[in-house]
Amino acid sequence: DSFLRDHLDWMKKASNWAKFSATASMGVIHASHTTEAMTLLEPYLPPSAPENDPNAEHPTVSSTGGYAEGGSLYALGIIHGSHSGSCATKRQEASAFLRNHLRNSHANEVISHGAALGVGLTSFGSADLEVVNELKELLYTDSAVAGEAASIAIGMVLVGSGAGNANSTTNVESKEELDEIIAELRNYSKE
């Protein structure tokens, strides 16, 4: 943390994905500091609707910029994603916060990217299909950046569950047929 405080000018000069990475690195620096996470990241987090008013509108997300905001959402996931320092309650609170931003940030692929990675980390290994479905919504948007993060996050959520097991998803009649498919793929990759 002292590095960032001593080098704030460096962080201010960072732009685009460098700003995303610099902000996300705060999650590594403060990993497992779950009680202070929101306070530490508050200057960088995107605006949220008031927590105590379920009817309040979520602030509009700009389609440009958002690198520090996206990085801060990823940092929040890093802080709470560690099972060694985060209790289940804090992890669920962080996941709910991140999922709220995930649902409301589709207009900005950078914020969506950070929110998806954060959701993946806070829901790591949970096999929660509700989370997977929210990530799929982002995956189906026309954004390679957000879609990449959504697909990585889906893998994080489903890790260890056996979902997507090759034996259960392939419909191959015999070993010979499988060998033929592999040979065709090898030939295709040489072209």
pLDDT tens digits, residue range 110-129? 999 999 999 999 999 999 99
DSSP state, 90? H
Please say if the pLDDT value at position 142 is more than 90.
no
The CA dihedral of 107, 146, 23, 131, to the nearest 10 degrees, is 100
Name the strand (E) or helix (H) holding 67: helix 67-81
Mean pLDDT of the chain, nearest integer = 81
What whole-number distance in Å separates Cα of residue 30 and Cα of residue 80?
A: 10
Radius of gyration (C-alpha) of the chain in whole angstroms: 19
pLDDT (0 to 100) of residue 133: 93
How large is the average pLDDT for residues 40-64?
A: 69
